[in-house]
């Protein structure tokens, strides 16, 4: 049976072989070029690929393997051999799984081109044997899910001209790059996303590559950048991409020694410091120069405008200049006008100033003009006809107002416009709404613009609209289904929010909706079943009434649900328990009632902000809330809660930590969050930082659990207006960051713990109307500017009260021996209470800002260059990246 089958199979094979050679000969090609041993190597190689039938559909064993898709042969040596294997995938849909890279490749010794990029090798290693394919000239293993150490063996590929290992999602590493010296023919080296943090001498290794034309070391965790080189080998270098690293160093001088070849310099977000050397005269070929998102200081380099000025044969080639998000000062030199080929001028978020007139902007090819967030004064006459047709207009805070800039009427194709914060007032002219059908991003926020908002439903590309902080009135308009972020906060919009429901059909993209601080009324419509992509829903500070609709529970991707300061009533719908991704739950200042549900603690483990204050909640504080270990803001004040303060609050682990400094995190769209930030500030106007614990104005009884003193990160603690008894926890002094301590109007007794004098940051506190007794600790009273913080305690004495402690009445009401360690500390430390923290407003804004940005972007920071499109913040980042890439491709 087996034999018969085998014979049959052979016959079929022979027949089809005849057929295919007949076919070949009919096409005038008599030779079957394929070398049999190489064919079996290919077949074996295919076996280690799975899920990829389509890819190999042309790999028919009976046919000439040189005709298989992705295979090429050559007879350069006199015999036919496979020389090229190109099995790159095309994105996720066709991404094949290669379980491993089969070593059958070793049986293709003449292979010179190997492309396995955009496949999924399931975190396998880059195999060492690839180093034995000694004829390789091109090796592409990018975006292929490899991990582990790059094998030194690649250094044996002395013919290699192209090496691309980028995009393996930070899983590839190298501790040394010495092996590069073997690659003396290398022209293109792409290691983007490879972790090179442990490589000591990366630049010396690169300097062994005299043929290098392109170096792509973006996002490699590099932390050293030598400023000088004794000699330079890579004098052909044209493209240098060192973006997204951690150099913490000035821009290197050796760049200027290869100025005759360099065409692209990219140091975006790589922690560069110092000033930009002003030595660009000879960079005649520079086309793209990107230093955005660094810490660069000093002035705009004047020589940029003088490139090739003395050489009549070359025109300045600079087309894209990105210097945004640095600390550059001074004005723009008029010489910039000589960069006649300029297409991108991005100077956003520096400290530059000066007047920008038409003369500065006479660039006929300009597509991207971003001057936002400096102190520029853009003074352009309203009848100017610019020589350009912009794609991106970024003129935030450019003192354009009070008139609406009429010259914009000439720009008919822009995709992005930001003229926010310009003191422009009056009604938006009608022509503006219809001017560009391509617009995707529109920001007119923080002006004095009025009028009704037009119907946006025909703006099919519009995905980000920010009209916040103006005086728009009338009802909510209609929008197209492409909206991603819709921010209309701080206007005077009236009526119901139901027009939004039209945007919430299947597959809608709306992810950020902020209608806070308007005059919207009626109930919140029960239409959220299709709002799957919403990440932020902010309806705070309106006049919404009725119950929170059940369908809110469908918004399972929500990170922030902010409904504070409305007139919502009833109990929380049980469906809210499905919102397990929430970081912010703010329902404060409503008329909500019932018990605080246990599922808030059980299901919402990510919560950082929980505000249920100023409602009508009753019952106990559920112990499950203690599971919220990430809480930074906990506010249940102003309800009718009773029972005891749970002892398990020491599970609030984040509050038990002193915040580390926040590192700089890039966020091109900070503006969006400003309104949310405002709302959060309003919700607790007195707290300078965001570590808040507030249970004031309830009916809580029992004592203050000593566990609370382990929450050493707290800056704000209020338990006032309850029925608390017992003593103030003796270790209260360990909460050293406290700036606000309110315990007034309880029934606390015993003496004030002396450790309280360790609270050096304390600026506001109140212990009035309790049963406290004994002497007010010395050292402490300096902080207690005001006797009113102590009044209403019959048995307290000492400054700032007038009661004299020498009277026996006030002696020894201490209830127990206080913590010994802390007491010793008090002795050494108690009288140094000299400085107080008064920069509250400023400190609050900065720290909260940092927090909020971190919250939404913490991971995107590291992964910004890759395709993590699942997160809202990344989408926005990538949107910009794509736009830049699109522009670059257009030029290529």
Ligand X SMILES: *[C@@H]1O[C@H](CO)[C@@H](O)[C@H](O)[C@H]1NC(C)=O
User: Which positions touch ligand X (CB under 6 A)?
Assistant: 35, 37-38, 75, 78-79, 81, 88, 109, 117-118, 131-132, 140, 142-143, 152-153, 155-156, 162, 164, 179, 181, 184, 188, 190, 207-208, 210, 229, 231-233, 257, 312, 526, 549-550, 573, 699, 723
Nearer Cβ to ligand X, position 35 or 613?
A: 35
Query: For ligand X, which is the closer residue by CB, 142 or 284?
Result: 142
Give the shortest CB-45-to-ligand X separation in angstroms. Answer: 14
Can you give the three-state secondary structure of 716-760, one letter per residue? EEECCCCCCECECCHHHHHCCCCCEEECCCCCCEEECCHHHHHCC
Distance in Å, CB of 37 to ligand X, minimum: 5
Based on CB atoms, which residue is closest to ligand X, 340 or 382?
Answer: 340
Residue closer to ligand X by CB (options 239, 345) is 239
Q: Look at residue 879 and give its three-state secondary structure.
A: helix
In the bound state with ligand X, the residue whose beta carbon lies nearer, of 164 and 586, is 164
Q: Considering the complex, state which of residue 220 and residue 711 has its C-beta at the smaller distance from ligand X.
A: 220
- Min separation Cβ 512 and ligand X, Å: 25
CB of 181 to ligand X, least distance (A): 6
Measured from the CB atom, is 190 or 391 closer to ligand X?
Answer: 190
Closer to ligand X by Cβ: residue 272 or 724: 724
Residue 411 has phi, psi (to 5 degrees) of -95, 105
| Separation between Cα atoms, residue 594 and residue 639, nearest integer Å | 10
Of the candidates 502, 432, 419, 509, which has an alpha carbon nearest to the alpha carbon of residue 467?
419
Measured from the CB atom, the residue of 193 and 733 that comes closer to ligand X is: 193
Taking CB atoms, the residue at the shortest distance from ligand X is 117
Is the peptide bond preceding residue 402 cis, with omega within 30 degrees of 0? yes
Distance CA(549)–CA(563), nearest Å, equals 12
In eight-state DSSP terms, residue 479 is: B
Which residue, among 588, 511, 361, has the nearest Cα to 856 in the 3D structure? Answer: 511
Q: How far is the CB of 598 from ligand X (least distance, A)?
A: 17
Beta strands in 476-511 (DSSP E): 485-487, 492-495
Local structure of 32: helix, strand or coil? coil
- Residue 2, H or E segment: helix 2-26
Q: Do 851 and 680 touch, CB atoms closer than 8 A?
A: no
**Full 3-state SS string of 159-226:** CCCEEECCCCCCCEECCCCHHHHHCCCCCEEECCCCECCCCCCHHHHHCCCCCCCEEECCCCCCCCCC
Structure tokens at 291: 């230093």
For ligand X, the closer of residues 206 and 738 by Cβ is 206
For the chain, helix, strand, coil in percent to 5 are 25, 20, 55
Nearest distance in Å: CB 202, ligand X: 12
Tell me, rounded to whole angstroms, the distance of Cα 528 from its chain centroid: 26
Task: Report how far apart the first and last C-alpha atoms of the chain are (Å, whole number).
Answer: 62
CA geometry: angle 428, 432, 433, nearest 5 deg? 90
CB 266 within 8 A of CB 241: yes
Instruction: Please say whether the beta carbons of 313 and 289 come within 8 A.
Output: no
> Can you tell me whether residue 598 is helix, strand or coil?
coil
CB of 88 to ligand X, least distance (A): 4
Asked if residues 879 and 707 have their Cβ atoms less than 8 Å apart, the reply is no
Order of strands across the sheet that contains 749-751: 749-751, 771-775, 795-797
Q: Where are the alpha helices (DSSP H) in 27-99?
A: 36-47, 91-94
Report the DSSP beta bridge partners of residue 749: 727, 771
Please report how close the Cβ of residue 697 comes to ligand X at its closest, in angstroms. Answer: 8
**Distance between CA 135 and CA 113 in Å, rounded?**
9
Maximum Cα interatomic distance, the chain, rounded to a whole number of Å: 121
Q: Which of 389/618 has CB closer to ligand X? A: 618
Cβ proximity to ligand X, 210 vs 594, nearer residue: 210
β-strand 172-173 against 148-149: which pairing, if any? parallel
Nearest distance from C-beta of residue 746 to ligand X, angstroms: 8
Q: Least CB distance from residue 502 to ligand X, whole Å? A: 20
Reference 674, options 327, 368, 421, 371; nearest CA is 421
Cβ proximity to ligand X: between 34 and 609 the closer is 34
Q: How far is the CB of 162 from ligand X (least distance, A)?
A: 5
172-173 and 214-216: which strand pairing?
unpaired
Q: CB 349 → ligand X: shortest distance, Å?
A: 31
Strands 97-98 and 148-149: unpaired
Output Rg (C-alpha) for the chain, integer angstroms: 34
From the CB of 30, what's the least distance to ligand X, in Å? 9
For residues 526 and 630, which CB has a smaller minimum distance to ligand X in the complex?
A: 526
Q: Closest distance between ligand X and the C-beta of residue 100, in Å?
A: 19
Q: Which is nearer to ligand X, 79 or 867 (CB)?
A: 79
Least spacing, CB of residue 401 vs ligand X, in Å? 43
| Rounded least distance, CB 869 to ligand X, Å | 17
Considering beta carbons, is residue 134 or 147 the nearer one to ligand X?
A: 134
């Amino acid at each position: 049976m087996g034999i018969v089958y085998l014979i049959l199979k052979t016959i079929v094979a022979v027949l089809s072989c005849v057929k295919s050679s007949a076919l070949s000969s009919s096409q005038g090609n008599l030779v079957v070029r394929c070398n049999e041993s190489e064919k079996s190597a290919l077949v074996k190689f295919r076996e280690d690929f799975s899920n990829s039938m389509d890819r190999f559909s042309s790999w028919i064993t009976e046919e000439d393997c040189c005709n298989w898709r992705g295979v090429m042969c050559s007879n350069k040596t006199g015999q036919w051999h496979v020389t090229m294997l190109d099995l790159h995938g095309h994105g996720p849909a066709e991404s094949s799984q290669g379980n491993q890279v089969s070593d059958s490749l070793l049986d293709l010794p003449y292979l010179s081109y190997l492309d396995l990029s955009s496949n999924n090798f399931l975190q396998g290693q880059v195999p060492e044997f690839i180093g034995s394919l000694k004829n390789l000239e091109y090796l592409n293993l990018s975006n292929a899910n490899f991990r582990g150490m790059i094998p030194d063996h690649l250094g044996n590929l002395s013919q290699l001209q192209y090496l691309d290992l980028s995009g393996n999602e930070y899983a590839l590493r190298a501790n040394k790059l010495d092996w590069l010296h073997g690659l003396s023919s290398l022209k293109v080296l792409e290691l983007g996303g490879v972790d090179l943090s442990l490589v000591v001498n990366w630049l010396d290794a690169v300097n062994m590559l005299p043929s290098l034309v392109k170096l792509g070391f973006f996002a490699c965790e590099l932390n050293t950048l030598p400023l000088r080189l004794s000699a330079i080998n890579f004098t052909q270098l044209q493209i240098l991409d060192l973006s997204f690293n951690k150099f913490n160093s000035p821009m290197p001088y050796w760049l200027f020694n290869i100025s005759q070849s360099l065409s692209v310099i990219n140091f975006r977000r790589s922690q560069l410091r110092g000033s930009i050397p002003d030595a660009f005269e000879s960079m005649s070929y520079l086309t793209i120069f990107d230093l955005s998102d660094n810490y660069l200081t000093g002035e705009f380099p004047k020589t940029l405008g003088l490139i090739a000025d003395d050489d009549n044969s070359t025109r300045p080639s600079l087309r894209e200049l990105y210097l945004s998000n640095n600390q550059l000062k001074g004005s723009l030199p008029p010489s910039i006008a000589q960069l006649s080929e300029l297409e991108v001028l991005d100077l956003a978020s520096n400290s530059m100033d000066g007047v920008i007139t038409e003369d500065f902007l006479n660039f006929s090819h300009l597509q991207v003009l971003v001057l936002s967030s400096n102190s520029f004064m853009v003074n352009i006459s309203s009848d100017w006809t610019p020589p350009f047709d912009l794609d991106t207009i970024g003129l935030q805070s450019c003192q354009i107002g009070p008139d609406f800039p009429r010259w914009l009427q000439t720009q008919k194709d822009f995709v992005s416009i930001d003229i926010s914060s310009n003191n422009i007032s009056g009604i938006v002219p009608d022509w503006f709404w219809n001017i560009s059908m391509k617009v995707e991003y529109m920001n007119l926020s923080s002006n004095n613009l009025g009028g009704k908002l037009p119907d946006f439903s025909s703006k099919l590309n519009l995905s980000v609209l920010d009209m916040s902080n103006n005086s728009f009135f009338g009802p909510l308009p209609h929008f197209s289904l492409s909206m991603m972020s819709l921010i209309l906060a701080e206007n005077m919009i009236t009526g119901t929010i139901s027009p939004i429901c039209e945007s919430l059909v299947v597959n809608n993209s709306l992810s950020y909706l902020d209608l806070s601080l308007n005059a919207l009324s009626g109930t919140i419509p029960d239409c959220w079943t299709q709002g799957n992509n919403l990440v932020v829903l902010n309806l705070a500070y309106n006049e919404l009434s009725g119950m929170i609709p059940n369908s809110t529970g469908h918004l399972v991707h929500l990170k922030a649900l902010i409904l504070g300061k409305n007139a919502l009533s009833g109990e929380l719908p049980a469906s809210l328990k499905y919102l397990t991704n929430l970081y912010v739950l703010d329902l404060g200042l409503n008329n909500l009632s019932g018990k605080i549900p246990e599922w808030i603690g059980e299901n919402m483990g990510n919560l950082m902000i929980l505000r249920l204050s100023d409602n009508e909640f009753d019952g106990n504080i559920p112990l499950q809330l203690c599971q919220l270990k990430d809480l930074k803001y906990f506010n249940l004040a102003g309800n009718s809660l009773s029972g005891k303060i749970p002892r398990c609050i020491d599970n609030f682990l984040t509050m038990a930590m002193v915040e580390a400094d926040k590192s700089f995190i890039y966020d091109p769209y900070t503006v969006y969050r400003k309104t949310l930030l405002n709302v959060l500030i309003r919700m607790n106007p007195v707290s300078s930082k965001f570590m808040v614990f507030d249970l004031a104005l309830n009916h809580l009884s029992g004592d203050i659990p000593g566990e609370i003193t382990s929450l050493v990160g707290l800056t704000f603690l209020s338990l006032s207006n309850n029925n608390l008894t017992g003593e103030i926890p003796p270790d209260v002094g360990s909460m050293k960051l406290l700036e606000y301590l309110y315990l007034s109007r309880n029934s606390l007794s015993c003496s004030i713990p002396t450790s309280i004098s360790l609270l050096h940051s304390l600026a506001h506190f109140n212990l009035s109307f309790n049963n406290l007794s004994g002497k007010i600790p010395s050292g402490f009273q300096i902080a207690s500017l005001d006797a009113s913080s102590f009044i209403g305690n019959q048995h307290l004495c000492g400054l700032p009260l007038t009661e004299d402690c020498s009277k026996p009445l006030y002696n020894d009401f201490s209830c127990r021996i206080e913590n010994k360690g802390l007491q010793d500390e008090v002795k050494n430390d108690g009288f140094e209470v000299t400085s107080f923290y008064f920069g509250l407003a400023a400190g609050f804004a900065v720290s909260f800002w940092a927090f909020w940005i971190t919250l939404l972007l913490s991971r995107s920071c590291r992964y910004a260059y890759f395709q993590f499109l699942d997160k809202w913040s990344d989408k926005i980042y990538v949107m910009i990246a794509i736009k830049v890439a699109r522009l670059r491709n257009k030029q290529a």
